[in-house]
Each structure stands twice: as structure tokens, then as C-alpha cells.
Chains A and B, each alone.
Chain A
Amino acid sequence: MAKLILSMDGLVLKEIALTKERTTIGRKPHNDIQIDNLAVSGEHAVIVTILQDSFLEDLGSTNGTVVNGQPIKKHFLQNNDIIELGKYKLKYVNEAVAGQAKAADFEKTMVLRPGSVKAPTAAPAASAPAGPAAAAPAAAAAGARNLSDTLAGQSVTAAPVAPPKPAAAPQKNAALQLLSGANAGKELDLTKPLTTLGKPGVQVAVITRRPQGFFITHVEGASFPVVNGKTLDAQAHSLNDHDVIELAGVKMEFFLKT
């Protein structure tokens, strides 16, 4: 469940859970989050929450709404965003992101059915062996929708998992230097995830840039690439600093850049 932490001058005033589909922010008392300050408009902004996602929208306020230092009209809130309204700050915390196990469970594909489709099929679904799960109306977030019971029981059994590492390219950069042929001496930086070498139709190999390092793999042609005098097979081969590659009659040296 996402929440907002209201603070002023570094002092936490209160925490507000985003349980409603629309959470209004403003100076007037009917707002869900009332901030009694003249810099805040009567109806200043609104946060629309759809399941796990929240969107902040400025309602044409006099002094505007600022997120992470940028004035916004409409903003898709991300974990730890700071919303500024005059002297007040609202920090957006989305625990589905913070709680790793929960986030991993949520990865599992689920079916979301519009209410209209649900109605005629409600009877067979409820009588199904799914039993309690099917009968209990799941969080009807947007009112018109019901979350299907499909995986109701599953989140309990799923083991907590480490968050996946972000798409990490290897730390080091690398390049090839041609040692023979017409372009001897030239350097080729291996910046792309995939770099092909050779002559199409004759012999082609590819160097893949992965988090674990650089790998060379045979792609096409009757002969396979040679690394340090050894002919490779169809498997990917990990490249080390100063390896010498021979391909389609051209020698080149692989080296890591600092």
C-alpha cells in the first residue's frame, strides 16, 4: 500500500495511506489531506490511485505543484518522490516497491476482468472449488473492476526472492584492435550489446557484452573463430584481456579499457 508522509521543515507531521481511488489535497477542510496554509489552494491537487500505481494531478492551483524540484501538471508517482506544496513536503512511499517479496509475487500474471463480464459468470465461479477465494470479492479498486481470484492462494507460498539486478552492463569497456588485413591498427569499441565481426555469407561471429563480461560466439559460416590459436565450438567463449581472435582471415586483439 502506498502512503504519503507529510512534513514541514524536516519535521514529520503525519502519514496518510493512499487507500482511496481519489485522494484530494487542499486548504479547504473537505480535502482528504488538508493543509491549512495560504500558499496552498482550496483544491490544490489530487492523487488518483489505480491498484499499485498513483498519479498526481495539479488542479489548477495558484502556486502550482512541484515534484522533485520540477513543476508538474500531471505526474506518475515513483517511490520516494517529494511533492512540494509551499513550505510543506509530501514524500510518496510505495511499499510494494520497498517490500521485495511482495513485489515479486505481484509479478505473477493475473487476470483482471471488467465487472460486466464478471456478472454472468459469477455463479459458476463461486460454485467452483476455488471456494472462499472466488466468493470473496477481491479488492475492487476502480469500482468497475474486480481482481480475479486466480492467484489468491499463491502469494502465501511464494518464497521471498532477491530483487533482480538492474540491467547492468559490465563495468569495464573493451575494444578490438585489428592486427592484420587492410585496416590493421584500427580500433573498434565494443559499446553495443552485440557487435558482429566477419563477412556475411562467409564467416560471422558476434561479441556479446554481458554483465559477466564479453563473450564471442560463432554465428554463421563453415569455419569457426579461433581464439589464441584454439578453434572454438558452437558455444559462447568468454574473452580475456589481450586474447587474439582470428576470423575470416583477419587477426584482432581483444583488450579491456580502463
Chain B
Amino acid sequence: MTLSGALEVASCTDPGMVRSHNEDSIASDGDQGLVVLADGMGGYNAGEVASGMATTVIITELQQLLEKKIPYEVDAHSGQLVAHQLLHEQIAKANTSIYQAAQSQPQYAGMGTTLVVALFYDNKMTVAHIGDSRLYRLRGGELRQVTKDHSLLQEQIDSGVITPQQARQSQNKNLVTRALGIDPIVEAEIHDYETQPEDIYLLCSDGLCDMVSDDDIGLALQTLSSNLKLCAQHLVQTANDNGGRDNISVILVRVLRDYPAPRSIVGKMMSWFK
């Protein structure tokens, strides 16, 4: 199945102004409607290893599986949507690979990574995320954060301890409550969303959203939407201008046209009667 021509993808990743290593990792395949971003953590180069393993495992495995499997179908065996099943399985696989490497090799001990994956199919997208890497959507000039961080700050905001404004001043940034590769089993948060032509989706590591306000992100997406590559570079540059304290990664996806699933006539008839 291919979505060629339905999506435009641009990305940019940068170590920032302070760090010597880039522990972020990004991968994308516009034709398959697949984008992956991971922000690694762990000593020396272990963070890079963890995030690199996560993006590589997920993109290569899914690329192969999507040749055979149809994401919008329901798996007869499990009753799950195939897209969900694929993401669950591949995230579990990436988790196991990172966890085992961390257990078996001393220099990788304790490494882990955040993850955000979006899979586009049938005018929809399925988003899976773990940790504090985010997905935003710009639609009709309005920027909205789609994913909710798995972090201490988000828990504090949810329980009313602090307000989102106060959270920006907090010293407890970057404490994630969920990460890939830390425990033998990890649960990704998976949701489906409808997409529309002209939507712009932004996947980013916390190096962007900690340094650049949502207003400035929204303004950049809106003004530079006709040049996605420039927009991605501009976002990274703005984060660096503001201090660039962490690695910064950005993937932008623009929906160029509708991409409905090529269903059979029988299938269409069925959907009328639902």
C-alpha cells in the first residue's frame, strides 16, 4: 500500500547549543505514511544507541509488514485494528531489543528512549507515544497538542498541583514516567485521529517545546507552511536562538490530499448499511 503524493514530510535534527551528542533519532517514510521520532537517554553514547535502535526497529519492521498487511483492517484473530496491532508488536520488539542490550552490555546500562510514532492510512492516523516527545496538529490556523506527556509535570498539571504556565518554570522538567527500554514490558499510548487535507503535523523532542513557546511554534507552522523544509529548520534555529539546551528534533508532515483506503464495492455497500 502506498500513499505517494498524499503526504509531504520534512525533518531536521540538531544537537543544540549545549550538548556535544545528539541523542535524538528520527526516521520517516512518506510513501508508507510512517514517521518515527525518539529522544534517547543514558550515559555516554547510550542515549543515541537506544533512540537509534527504536527508530530503526520500528521503521524497518513496519516498512516490511505494511507491504503485506492492511492497517485499516481488523485482525480476525485479536479483533484489534491491524494498525494498532502492528504498532503494539513493533514497539514491544524495540523495547525488548533496547532492554536486552542494556542488560547485557555494561556501557548501555540504564539506557532508554522516548518515542512518538504516527502511521497514516485511510484519511486517518494512529499515534503511539511513550514519554515526553510530542505530536502537535495545526488545523485552520490553530495549533493543538495531540499527545499528552508521560511526565511528572503532566501528572502534576492533571492533579491540579501546578498550572501549565507554572510548569514552564518548573525545575522538574525532563522527568518522564514512561520510557522505552527501561522495563521488560512497556505500554505505549495509542490513539486514532481523523486527518484533513492541509493539516500539518509536528513531531518533536522536548528540546523544541521546552525552548519555543506554542505560540511561536504555531506562527512558524502557519507562515512557513508552503516550505516545510525551511519551517523545520526555522523551528530548530528558534530553539537554538533561545538557548538550545537540549537536542532538538522536528518532523513535519503535511496532508496534501485525501487518501481513502481503496475498498472493494462490497465493502462500500456494507458501510452504507452500518
Which residues in A have some Cβ–Cβ distance to B below 8 Å?
Answer: 50-53, 55, 76, 78, 94, 96-97, 103-104, 106-114, 117, 121, 124, 128-131, 133-134, 148-154, 157, 161, 164-167, 192-196, 200, 204, 206, 208, 210-212, 217, 219-220
- Contact assessment for A111 and B112 in the assembled complex, using a CB-CB cutoff below 8 Å: yes
Give the residues in chain B near A154, CB-CB below 8 Å. Answer: 43
Determine the chain A residues whose CB is within 8 A of the CB of B156 once the complex forms. 50
Q: Max chain A CB contacts within 10 Å: which of B110, B183, B230, B245?
A: B110
- B79 is an interface residue with CB less than 8 A from chain A: no
Contact partner of A220 (CB less than 8 A), chosen from B161, B216, B227, is B227
A113 with B223: CB separation less than 8 A: no
Q: Are the C-beta atoms of B174 and A109 separated by less than 8 Å? A: yes
Interface size on B, residues (CB 8 A): 56
- Indicate if the CB atoms of B226 and A164 lie closer than 8 Å: no
**Contact between A112 and B224 (Cβ–Cβ < 8 Å)?**
no
Contact call A153/B43, Cβ cutoff below 8 A: yes
B41 part of interface (Cβ distance < 8 Å): yes
**A112→B152 contact, CB < 8 A:** yes
B172 surroundings in chain A (CB, below 8 A): 50-53
Given contacts A52-B171, A121-B183, A121-B184, whether A200 and B241 have CB atoms under 8 Å apart is no
The answer to the question of B170 belonging to the interface, with a C-beta cut-off of 8 Å to chain A, is yes
Our count of residue pairs bridging A and B at CB distance below 8 angstroms stands at 150
A50–B176 Cα distance when bound, in Å, is: 15
- 12 further interface pairs, Cβ-Cβ under 8 Å (given A96-B171, A109-B174, A193-B238): A55-B161, A76-B162, A97-B171, A107-B173, A109-B175, A112-B152, A129-B105, A164-B245, A166-B242, A167-B243, A204-B226, A220-B226
Query: B246 in the interface, Cβ–Cβ < 8 Å?
Result: yes
Do residues A150 and B171 form an inter-chain contact, with CB atoms below 8 A?
no
B152-168 to A contact mask, C-beta < 8 Å, 1/0: 10001000011000100
Q: List 15 A-B contacts (CB under 8 A).
A: A106-B171, A109-B41, A109-B176, A109-B246, A111-B177, A121-B184, A124-B103, A128-B103, A129-B106, A134-B109, A148-B110, A150-B112, A151-B110, A165-B243, A167-B241
Q: How far is the CA of A186 from the CA of B241 in the complex (A)?
A: 31
Q: Which 10 residue pairs spanning A and B have beta carbons closest together?
A: A164-B243, A52-B171, A129-B106, A130-B109, A220-B226, A109-B174, A150-B110, A167-B242, A76-B166, A109-B41
Assess the A117–B183 pair: CB atoms within 8 A. yes
CB atoms of A111 and B109 under 8 A apart: no
Considering the chains assembled together, what is the distance between the CA atoms of A151 and B152 in angstroms? 17
Q: Cβ of B176: which chain A residues have Cβ within 8 Å of it?
A: 109-112
CB proximity of A134 to chain B, nearest CB, Å: 7
Q: Which of B18, B177, B226, B243 contacts A200 (CB 8 A)?
A: B226
Once A51-B171, A111-B182, A150-B41 are accepted as A-B contacts, the answer to whether A194 and B110 lie under 8 Å apart by CB is no
Minimal Cβ-Cβ distance residue in B for A96: B171
Q: Using Cβ atoms and an 8 Å threshold, which residues of chain A touch B131?
A: 109
Bound complex: CA A141 to CA B152 (Å):
12
Chain A positions within 8 Å of B14 at CB level: none
Shortest beta-carbon distance, A48 to chain B, in Å? 8
Cβ–Cβ < 8 Å partners of B242 in chain A: 164-167
Partner of B177, one of A103, A106, A108, A113: A113
Task: Assess the B175–A51 pair: CB atoms within 8 A.
Answer: yes
Chain B residues positioned under 8 Å from A104 (CB to CB): 18, 245
